């Protein structure tokens, strides 16, 4: 019996952890600090979503982005401008990615912008952008 319990608890923990990470409905990975940002910028192809939870346009855009991610299995990184508003380099990062309005999803190749979509684009345009990386 103890033999089964030693496997039951880790499996239950993983099941709960998986449930918590998928229950949020967020399919993208957050960029929390400069190290993660640098890592994303160093990738051959990367997608960064610039947005914030307090923006109506972002809240409207996110379900479209979620659907596009589900259809393409793309990895998208989220740079939450509310979370980073106190960062010294936030304006430099926004300028580097030509972020004037939110939301904006940029496709990067070796750290350089090659394409983007924003709140004015359709579901099809968002999906097409993410499908370019496949």
Q: What is the pLDDT of residues 58-95, one digit of tens each?
A: 999 999 999 999 999 999 999 999 999 999 999 999 99
Spell out, as residue ranges, where the chain has pLDDT lower than 70: 1-26, 134
Output the DSSP codes for 83-125: TTTT-TTHHHHHHHTT--SS-EEEEEETTEEEEEEETTS-HHH
Q: In this predicted structure, what is the pLDDT of residue 25?
A: 52
Containing 78, the helix (H) or strand (E) segment is: strand 76-80
Q: In this predicted structure, what is the pLDDT of residue 9?
A: 54
What is the pTM for the complete model shown? Answer: 0.80
What DSSP character marks residue 26?
-
Tokens representing residue 34 in the block: 């400069």
């Amino acid at each position: 019996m103890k033999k089964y319990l030693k496997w039951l608890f880790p499996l239950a923990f993983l099941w709960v952890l998986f449930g918590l990470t998928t229950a949020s409905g967020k399919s993208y990975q957050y960029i929390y600090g400069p190290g993660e940002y640098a890592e994303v910028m160093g990738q051959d192809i990367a997608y960064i979503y610039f947005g914030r939870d307090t923006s109506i346009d972002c809240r409207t855009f996110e379900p479209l982005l979620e659907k596009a991610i589900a259809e393409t299995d793309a990895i998208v990184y989220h740079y939450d401008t509310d979370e980073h508003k106190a960062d010294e380099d936030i304006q430099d990062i926004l300028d580097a990615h030509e972020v004037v309005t939110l939301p904006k999803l940029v496709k990067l190749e070796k750290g350089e912008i090659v394409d983007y979509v924003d709140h004015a684009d359709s579901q099809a345009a968002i999906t097409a952008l993410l499908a370019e990386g496949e």
